[in-house]
């Protein structure tokens, strides 16, 4: 293949090292790691006793760092639901999972631009004063300041103000088929009230913009909508920009949106982190659309690959905190036909099934977190002929590469492959361990051909074999004794099984300074004779031998 000679010979150095939005590590309510890249999920069972603790433990086991639950205004008026929410947040705090709590005014309305007909039928209108009271009481309940706290003082320090303001359905109460999302300046009126209420209750809290949905099903362009928010003075009322929406085309759509938002912030002199809070793909189900009789199978393998690719793609674009949506399937409670875009993602997009059976994507998420979780930055090392490779850099130099053939990204029923050499991907190691989405590993050489498919693989340098340790035991002089001149320092060297080691080079140290060298005999012993001046001395010895890790004795003290 002639093209293979050209693939990725020129590395695309698009390094992005975006600083994580992290405050007060090891404090409840705040992120527990200082890592650049943060991994989250969106949960949906805040008000159900069944499985809640189980789900929290499932999150903890795969390294989830963030969770986004939701509380609606009417929920906060229900004492039982408030008690259940208290319990969820307490569980998340105990598991070391940081909470981004999404609140919204549902089922009420505040502004004329919302669908008054819907509001009158479901909840009615409320005033801004009532809204401020709701938000302040909510934040006060979880600020752990000892005033108005929930029992046990569970902590929330990150808040999302309303949901998808550029979507007709959520915030504006119109149908999903409608494109009647209200104007940005109307959302800013609500956002400003929420922001000020949050900061009044907890000045140290962080406020996230309602997640801007991608263009599908009538949503307004998220970039233009963000520009409208900023132009209406909304930049004073959020600390984090959020993008979301699991419908439409992920690849390309998100890239355009992220770049467009970043350009607006640059032009306006703004600096805000961008998070992605509703990233998802269906897995483990076959769907039939009754309107077209079309049948599509979304395999668990497809979803598992999309988990890695979508996180990596967003990290490479400077989005450093990403939430998978949802964590658990909800086919029985989705509330609308599962063949719609919204319905199918809620029903079958989870890493875990409704009966708590684990999908492949659950284990793949854990694998991804273990491989990439402590990386410092990411660089694209290959983007040629639909072959993509990314280098995740680590302070210890044990960098991890992720690569796949992107021709079928987002296409659940398409299988593709292409063969390249490992070196063409920008991987500099001579011997590489390749790990697939099922955590199967194989070893390849840099000169070999490797077949990439739509499922990504991790590539790392082969770890050198761990050398056995030499054990060094001081024999004389014994610890704490008093001796005369002509001292003999003597040690015995063995392996971990207790076998005596001959031929080891032993170095003796006195008061931390190198004294002299000897070699162990067939009995594993080495000695060094010398005559120090009167005084108190500390001594120890090290032993070295090819094929072994250097050993060091404990330190003994003697007097002359």
Q: How do residues 116-162 score in pLDDT, each as one tens digit?
A: 888 888 888 999 999 999 999 999 999 999 999 999 999 999 999 99
CA distances, 47 to each of 89, 138, 217, 342, 346 (Å): 11, 16, 29, 21, 17
Residue 312 pLDDT grade (very low, low, confident, very high; cuts 50, 70, 90) = very high
CA distances, 103 to each of 66, 208, 390, 404 (Å): 16, 11, 36, 38
- Domains in the chain (CATH in brackets) are 37-373 (3.20.20.80), 380-461 (2.60.40), 471-559 (2.60.40.10)
Mean pLDDT of 303-319: 96
- Which of 5-9, 72-76, 148-152, 358-362 is predicted least confidently? 5-9
What integer pLDDT is reported at residue 169 of this predicted model? 78
pTM: 0.80
Question: DSSP string of 137-168?
Answer: HHHHHTS-SSSSPPTT-----EEEESS-TTST
CA distances, 167 to each of 39, 181, 183 (Å): 25, 6, 11
- Which of 140-149, 247-256, 294-303 is predicted least confidently? 247-256
Say which residue, 11 or 386, is predicted with more confidence.
Answer: 386
Specify whether the CB–CB gap between 470 and 480 falls below 8 A. Answer: no
Sign of CA dihedral 484, 489, 490, 496: positive
> Long-range CB contacts (< 8 A, 24+ apart) of 174-183?
174/115, 174/118, 176/217, 176/218, 176/340, 176/342, 177/217, 177/218, 178/218, 179/218, 179/219, 179/220, 180/115, 180/218, 181/218, 181/219, 181/220, 181/225, 182/111, 182/113, 182/114, 183/113, 183/228
* pLDDT greater than 90 at residue 238: yes
Specify whether the CB–CB gap between 380 and 425 falls below 8 A. Answer: no
Three-class secondary structure assignment of 311-371 = HHHHHHCCCCEEEECCCECCHHHCCCCCCCHHHHHHHHCCCECCCCCECHHHHHHHHHHHH
Residue 542 pLDDT grade (very low, low, confident, very high; cuts 50, 70, 90) = very high
* pLDDT greater than 50 at residue 534: yes
> Long-range CB contacts (< 8 A, 24+ apart) of 553-557?
553/472, 553/473, 553/474, 553/491, 554/474, 556/474, 556/477, 556/478, 556/479, 556/480, 557/479, 557/480
Residue 2 pLDDT grade (very low, low, confident, very high; cuts 50, 70, 90) = very low
Give 221's Cβ-side CA count (13 Å radius): 8
What integer pLDDT is reported at residue 249 of this predicted model? 67
Alpha helices in 19-115 (DSSP H): 52-61, 79-94
Specify whether the CB–CB gap between 51 and 357 falls below 8 A. Answer: no
What integer pLDDT is reported at residue 155 of this predicted model? 96
pLDDT digits (tens, 9 = 90+) for 455-502: 999 999 987 767 788 999 999 898 888 888 888 999 999 998 899 999
Mean pLDDT of 249-265: 90
Share of the chain above pLDDT 90, in %: 64
Specify whether the CB–CB gap between 463 and 431 falls below 8 A. Answer: no
Please list the residues that pair with 323 across neighbouring strands.
40
Mean pLDDT of 153-181: 85
Collapsed DSSP state (helix, strand, coil) of residue 39? strand
Residue 372 pLDDT grade (very low, low, confident, very high; cuts 50, 70, 90) = very high
* pLDDT greater than 70 at residue 1: no
For the chain, what is the mean pLDDT? 88
| Alpha-carbon span 472 to 491, nearest angstrom | 7
């Amino acid at each position: 293949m002639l093209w293979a000679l050209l693939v990725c010979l020129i590395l695309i150095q698009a390094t992005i090292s975006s600083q994580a939005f992290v405050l007060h590590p090891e404090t409840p309510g705040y992120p527990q790691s200082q890592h650049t890249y943060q991994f989250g999920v969106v949960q949906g069972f805040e008000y159900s006793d069944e499985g809640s603790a189980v789900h929290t433990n499932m999150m903890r086991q795969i390294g989830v760092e963030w969770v986004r639950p939701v509380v609606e205004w009417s929920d906060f008026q229900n004492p039982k639901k408030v008690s259940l929410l208290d319990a969820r947040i307490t569980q998340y705090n105990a598991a070391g999972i940081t909470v981004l709590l999404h609140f919204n005014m549902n089922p009420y309305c505040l502004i004329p631009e919302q669908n008054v007909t819907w509001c009158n039928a479901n909840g009615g209108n409320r005033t801004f004063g009532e809204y401020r009271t709701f938000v302040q009481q909510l934040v006060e309940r979880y600020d752990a300041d000892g005033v108005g706290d929930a029992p046990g003082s569970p902590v929330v320090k990150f808040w999302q103000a309303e949901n998808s303001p550029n979507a007709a359905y959520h915030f504006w109460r119109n149908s999903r088929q409608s494109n009647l999302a209200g104007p940005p300046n109307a959302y800013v009126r609500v956002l400003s009230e929420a922001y000020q209420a949050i900061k009044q209750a907890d000045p140290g809290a962080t406020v996230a913009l309602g997640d801007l949905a991608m263009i599908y099903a009538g949503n307004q362009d998220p970039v233009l909508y963000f520009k409208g928010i900023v132009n209406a003075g909304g930049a004073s009322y959020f600390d984090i920009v959020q993008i979301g929406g699991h419908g439409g085309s992920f690849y390309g759509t998100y890239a355009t949106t992220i770049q467009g938002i970043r350009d607006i912030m640059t032009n306006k002199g703004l600096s805000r982190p961008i998070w992605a809070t509703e990233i998802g793909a269906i897995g483990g189900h076959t769907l039939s659309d009754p309107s077209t009789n079309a049948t599509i199978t979304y395999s668990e393998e497809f979803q598992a690959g999309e988990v890695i690719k979508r996180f990596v793609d967003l990290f490479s674009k400077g989005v450093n905190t990403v939430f998978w949506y949802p964590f658990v399937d909800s086919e029985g409670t989705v509330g609308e036909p599962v063949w719609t875009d919204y319905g199918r993602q809620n029903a079958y997009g989870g890493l875990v099934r409704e009966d708590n059976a684990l999908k492949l994507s659950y284990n793949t998420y854990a694998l991804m977190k273990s491989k990439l979780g402590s990386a410092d930055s990411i660089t694209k090392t290959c983007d040629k002929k639909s072959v993509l490779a990314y280098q995740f850099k680590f302070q210890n130099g044990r960098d991890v590469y992720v690569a796949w053939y992107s021709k079928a990204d987002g296409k659940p029923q398409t299988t593709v492959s292409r063969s390249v050499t490992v070196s063409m991907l920008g991987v500099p190691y001579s011997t590489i361990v390749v790990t697939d989405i099922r955590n199967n590993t194989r070893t390849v050489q840099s000169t070999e051909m490797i077949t990439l498919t739509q499922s990504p693989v991790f590539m790392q340098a082969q770890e050198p074999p761990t050398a056995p340790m030499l054990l060094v035991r001081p024999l004389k002089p014994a610890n704490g004794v008093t001796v005369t001149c002509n001292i003999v320092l003597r040690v015995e060297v063995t392996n971990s099984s207790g076998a005596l080691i001959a031929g080891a080079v032993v170095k003796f140290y006195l008061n931390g300074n190198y004294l002299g060298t000897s070699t162990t005999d067939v009995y594993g012993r080495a000695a060094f004779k010398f005559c120090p001046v009167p005084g108190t001395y500390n001594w120890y010895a090290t032993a070295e031998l090819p094929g072994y890790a250097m050993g060091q004795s404990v330190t003994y003290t003697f007097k002359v």
